[in-house]
């Protein structure tokens, strides 16, 4: 069994970004999804699992040459929970599994290593800043089957809200855990930053 695996969610339709697939937008010359996946690769000893859906061929092309496992989610249009379930079913067995959004280009290996160091082996670990939940989250091996047990609402969202005793919140002032890119305004705010790392 691996120590750490990662699932990177790259199946969404980017509807709030207009006609552009946000994951293919270049940040400092590198597609956003490639930046995120490279950060996960640098952190985990297991091969990174990338869940594709919308424009899957373009996502695969953007990740060409990287040591990843691709899994296609045929239900991607039904929402993120289906992609999380798809990734959890396909990812290698590991003591801890990161569930990473594909649109968090400010994350670094240092951020992920810090989060893993805070992780509880028996609870889902979630970074927070004040009352705001962040991403990625960390799923312990023992709880992975329980996140898949509810076929109508698989994944992290409902499970963590219905089982607060199985959640560990870790406070952070690192905004990279909160900043994902959904709209052109989000992208403008990101590109105005002189430095992408904290």
Q: By the 8 A CB rule, do 3 and 43 touch?
A: no
46-80 pLDDT, tens per residue? Answer: 999 999 999 999 999 999 999 999 999 999 888 88
pLDDT at 168: 96
Per the prediction, the chain carries an average pLDDT of 89
Residue range 128-135: average pLDDT? Answer: 91
150-165 pLDDT, tens per residue? Answer: 888 888 888 999 999 9
Burial of 165 from C-beta contacts in 10 A (0-12 / 13-18 / 19+): exposed
Label the pairing between strands 94-101 and 137-140: antiparallel
Confidence of residue 198 (pLDDT cuts 50, 70, 90): very low
Question: What residue has token string 């970004």?
Answer: 17
91-110 pLDDT, tens per residue? Answer: 999 999 999 999 998 899 99
């Amino acid at each position: 069994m691996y120590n750490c695996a990662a699932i990177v969610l790259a199946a969404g339709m980017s509807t709030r970004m207009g006609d552009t697939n946000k994951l293919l937008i270049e940040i400092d010359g590198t597609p956003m999804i490639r930046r995120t996946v490279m950060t996960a690769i640098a952190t985990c000893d297991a091969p990174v699992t990338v869940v594709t859906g919308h424009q899957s061929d373009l996502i695969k092309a953007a990740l060409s040459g990287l040591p990843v496992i691709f899994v296609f989610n045929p239900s991607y249009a039904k929402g993120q929970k289906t992609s999380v379930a798809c990734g959890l079913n396909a990812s290698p067995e590991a003591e801890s599994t990161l569930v990473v959004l594909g649109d968090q280009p400010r994350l670094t290996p240092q951020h992920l290593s810090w989060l893993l160091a805070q992780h509880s082996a028996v609870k889902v670990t979630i970074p927070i800043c004040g009352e705001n939940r962040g991403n990625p989250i960390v799923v312990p091996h023992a709880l992975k089957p329980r996140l898949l047990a509810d076929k109508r609402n698989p994944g992290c969202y409902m499970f963590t809200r219905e089982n607060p005793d199985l959640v560990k919140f870790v406070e952070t002032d690192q905004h990279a855990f909160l900043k994902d890119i959904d709209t052109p305004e989000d992208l403008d705010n990101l590109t105005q930053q002189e430095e992408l790392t904290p």
